[in-house]
Amino acid sequence: MSIEYSPPIGTFFLHSAETTYAVKVLAQGYLTHLYWGPKVSAQELDFVLQLRDRAFSPNPDGLGREFSLDTLPLEYPVYGNTDFRSPALEVFQPEDGSRLVDLRFSDHRITAGKPSLLGLPSTWVENESEAETLIIGLEDSKLDLRVELSYTTFTDHPAITRSARIVHRGTSPLTLRRLLSCSVDFPSSHTDWSFLHLFGAHVRERELACTGLRPGVQSIESRRGASSHHHNPFFALTELEANENHGAVYGFNLVYSGNFLGLAECDADYGCRAQLGINPFDFSWTLEPGAEFQAPEAVLVFSQEGLGGMSRAYHRLYRKNLCRGEWRDKPRPIVVNNWEATYFDFNAEKLNEIATAAADLGIEMFVLDDGWFGHRDDEHSSLGDWFVHRKKLPGGLEDVAARILEKGLSFGLWFEPEMISPDSELYRAHPDWCLHVPGRSRSEGRHQLVLDFSREDVRENIYQQMKQILASAPITYVKWDMNRNMTEIGSAILEPGRQQETAHRYILGLYELMEWLTREFPHILFEGCAGGGGRFDPGILYYMPQIWTSDNTDAISRLKIQYGTTVVYPWSAISAHVSVVPNHQVGRVTPLKTRGDVAFTGAFGYELDVSLLGPEDREEVKRQTALYKQVRELLLHGDLYRLCSPFDSNEAAWMVVSADRDEALVTHVTMLSTPNAPQRFLRLKGLDAAAKYKVDNLVRQGDALMNIGLPIPYPSADFVSCQWRLSRTVESVGGS
């Protein structure tokens, strides 16, 4: 890893072990993008900038007909002086109505390590030797505006993080309308590539979508105030021939949990501009003289080993350099959560019954979900009233927790801190504490409104309430839920001209509250959730190392949901539970073994009334919990290889391999059984070809497992799964 600047050619080279990213300052001060891809040596790459006369591409600075920003690959494009493609920055100057920006190179600095971003989550390093950071300063002398582009390269990761910060040094207020985190101009050779992204809905999160790049703009975005179930803040540009294992893939992921925009614009010359950042839709920000604005971080990953290579690069980076706190590396407890077991209909006795059965089954953590507070017996009330529902739990949380701990389990609790029910004491006392626009009705979602987290007094109130509850009982796990998106976005404390700041201020406030609580309670394992996976993004992972992946707990639906999620996010972050059949979301009946095999992620558990299990099922659950305890370190820290996609076939398979390649866990699921199906073999990946592995009492050579595969047992019914545990052995190869 190194960042080099070569003054004679005005070029910055950012190298990782396998990649190079190059940026050039032109004589006029314009910053151009030269290259990003497989490693090239630091040399003059100016031939990338081919100039020739083009009609209808105007020329700045009297530079002659051959020079136009419209036809050059730019590093941080702005609007108004000859580039007509999508800008990264837009401003409005109320004083004279001007929207022009003209950024020229000013200075640069290269530092060891990686500075954090003020008020925003970002990747981080433990030692300065792990990363190097380049800051390029660009300035508009007329506006007296400075933009700092920051780039970090890592010793151990083929990733570059980018962000932008704007500093307003002018003397009158300026309106910021758009400040994207990154923009990359690819040459025309990329136009026969594909645009891959993750889209979905509640209980159908993160389906893979991939379409060819075409002239014009392809984009993904969220306008919902959360990163959303609908589009993840991620896209990749992939070489046409690229697949899971081979080919060039460029990934873009935003460390942000609110409205975002990701786009690829193929221009008239078949070049492609890729951009990612806060969504300019319904966004503006007033910069008073002297004020700054920090854009979130974008994480860019290049891989020549297909989508699988890109995913593993993201996984390794996020496992080590995004997640924080003591739970980053600690095996996660096996959870039983009472939501699908009881919904709102529980009392202390019922909880005790579930906990008693759970303890006997090897489960380690009881998480009490929605309904324990205020007078909440259904969705209609009490969000914001974070005190115990005494009618349901007369002995309080102290009593519930004491009975749980007595059985050897730990105790966890659900909150939905960002919400307020119109039927709540909090709302009656503070009707202006929710997002709203005066004179307009307040649309409810799940009978609730969104608290205005842009307000410090609101955050402080929720912080104090949560702190009191968390200190009142031995609570070592918190599920942080968020069950509706924003409407009527307005804040009672912001002046009219600043109302479009509300959604971003909310996210900054959310991060601040998460920071307060995770700092105050470092031993608590926090789990993110937003109606399942409605905010599965790197911003949340910075505070909470695992996220409830979907409200859909059906094992077969989860194949796609989890497969899609792993395109960017590590196995350790994916929270998955075994639930009852017929499944509550889709009505499907699947074997308990399959439900367990599919839920064996980094954060495993149960979401059913375990006190109602019959003897056979109890034995199966005991087998699962015992096995999970043996393999959870592997599932937490190992590398994930996707073997078979549920999007393309009737089966799904994946495996997790330890860093030293000594151990692996392989899972295969057949969806529908096929009559007279041919014998199939599952070819493994990531093993040591020269090593011998013990598989089910047989010994197999790594190369045979990867080139021939494991014979898949003939499926005797629908929804059958197989799981194999592999461990390196010194025994000789043999057996049948």
Q: Considering beta carbons, is residue 529 or 691 the nearer one to ligand DGJ?
A: 529
d(CA 736, CA 68): 69
Longest dimension (CA), the chain: 84
CB of 405 to ligand DGJ, least distance (A): 22
CB of 550 to ligand DGJ, least distance (A): 8
d(CA 668, CA 696): 15
Q: Is the dihedral of CA 19, 305, 208, 607 positive or negative?
A: negative
Q: Considering beta carbons, is residue 30 or 372 the nearer one to ligand DGJ?
A: 372
Per-residue contact string for residues 524-553; x = within reach of ligand DGJ by CB under 6 A = -----x-xx---------------x--x--
CB of 379 to ligand DGJ, least distance (A): 7
Per-residue contact string for residues 314-343; x = within reach of ligand DGJ by CB under 6 A = -------------------------x----
**Facing residues of 21 across strands?**
14, 36
CB of 355 to ligand DGJ, least distance (A): 18
d(CA 401, CA 132): 47
Q: Considering beta carbons, is residue 265 or 481 the nearer one to ligand DGJ?
A: 481
d(CA 191, CA 599): 39
# of chain residues touching ligand DGJ (CB under 6 A): 11
CB of 369 to ligand DGJ, least distance (A): 5
CB of 310 to ligand DGJ, least distance (A): 28
- Is there a contact between 255 and 247 (Cβ–Cβ < 8 Å)? no
**Residue 631 — φ and ψ, nearest 5°?**
-110, 0
**Which residue of this chain has its Cβ atom nearest to ligand DGJ in the complex?**
370
Contacts of 495 (CB under 8 A, 6+ apart): none
d(CA 412, CA 409): 10
CB of 228 to ligand DGJ, least distance (A): 14
Residue the block writes with tokens 């920090």: 294
Within 589-618, which residues bind ligand DGJ (CB under 6 A)? none
Hey, what are 735's tokens?
């057996």
Q: Considering beta carbons, is residue 531 or 538 the nearer one to ligand DGJ?
A: 531
Q: How far is CA 313 from CA 91, 317, 510, 656, 704, in A?
A: 35, 6, 28, 14, 26
- 394: alpha, beta or left, given left = phi > 0 and alpha = psi -120 to 50? alpha
Task: Tell me if residue 617 is catalytic.
Answer: no
Q: Considering beta carbons, is residue 483 or 518 the nearer one to ligand DGJ?
A: 483
CB of 593 to ligand DGJ, least distance (A): 23
481 binds ligand DGJ per the rule CB under 6 A? yes
SS3 192: coil
Name the residue among 663, 593, 598, 596 with its Cα closest to residue 631. 663
Task: Tell me if residue 554 is catalytic.
Answer: no
Q: Considering beta carbons, is residue 280 or 531 the nearer one to ligand DGJ?
A: 531
265 binds ligand DGJ per the rule CB under 6 A? no
CB of 311 to ligand DGJ, least distance (A): 24
Within 140-179, which residues bind ligand DGJ (CB under 6 A)? none
Residue the block writes with tokens 């959310």: 510
- Is there a contact between 602 and 546 (Cβ–Cβ < 8 Å)? yes
483 binds ligand DGJ per the rule CB under 6 A? yes
Q: Which of 102, 423, 537, 551 is catalytic?
A: 551
Q: Considering beta carbons, is residue 447 or 725 the nearer one to ligand DGJ?
A: 447
Per-residue contact string for residues 343-382; x = within reach of ligand DGJ by CB under 6 A = --------------------------xx------------
Q: Considering beta carbons, is residue 19 or 579 the nearer one to ligand DGJ?
A: 579
What's the per-residue H, E or C state across 650-697? CEEEEEEECCCCCEEEEEEEECCCCCCCCCEEECCCCCCCCCEEEECC
| Cβ-based neighbour number of residue 587 at 10 Å | 9
- Spell 493-532 as b/e; 16+ CB within 10 A means b: ebeeebebbbbbbbbbbbbebbebbbeebeebbbbbbbbb
Within 12-31, which residues bind ligand DGJ (CB under 6 A)? none
Q: Considering beta carbons, is residue 410 or 579 the nearer one to ligand DGJ?
A: 579
Report cis status (omega within 30 of 0) of the bond before 582: yes
**Facing residues of 275 across strands?**
183, 263
Within 113-142, which residues bind ligand DGJ (CB under 6 A)? none
Question: Half-sphere exposure of 558 toward its Cβ, with a 13 Å CA cutoff?
Answer: 29
Per-residue contact string for residues 181-210; x = within reach of ligand DGJ by CB under 6 A = ------------------------------
Q: Which of 83, 369, 481, 554 is catalytic?
A: 481
The secondary structure of residue 321, as a DSSP letter, is H
Identify the residue among 13, 283, 318, 414 touching ligand DGJ (CB under 6 A): 414
CB of 610 to ligand DGJ, least distance (A): 17
CB of 327 to ligand DGJ, least distance (A): 19
User: What is the radius of gyration, based on Cα positions, of the chain?
Assistant: 27
Q: Considering beta carbons, is residue 251 or 417 the nearer one to ligand DGJ?
A: 417
Q: How far is CA 710 from CA 311, 652, 653, 725, 726, in A?
A: 24, 14, 12, 12, 11
Q: Which amino acid is at 462?
A: I
Q: Considering beta carbons, is residue 193 or 415 the nearer one to ligand DGJ?
A: 415
Residues at the site binding ligand DGJ, with contacts judged by CB under 6 A:
339, 369-370, 414, 481, 483, 529, 531-532, 548, 551
Residues designated as active site: 481, 551
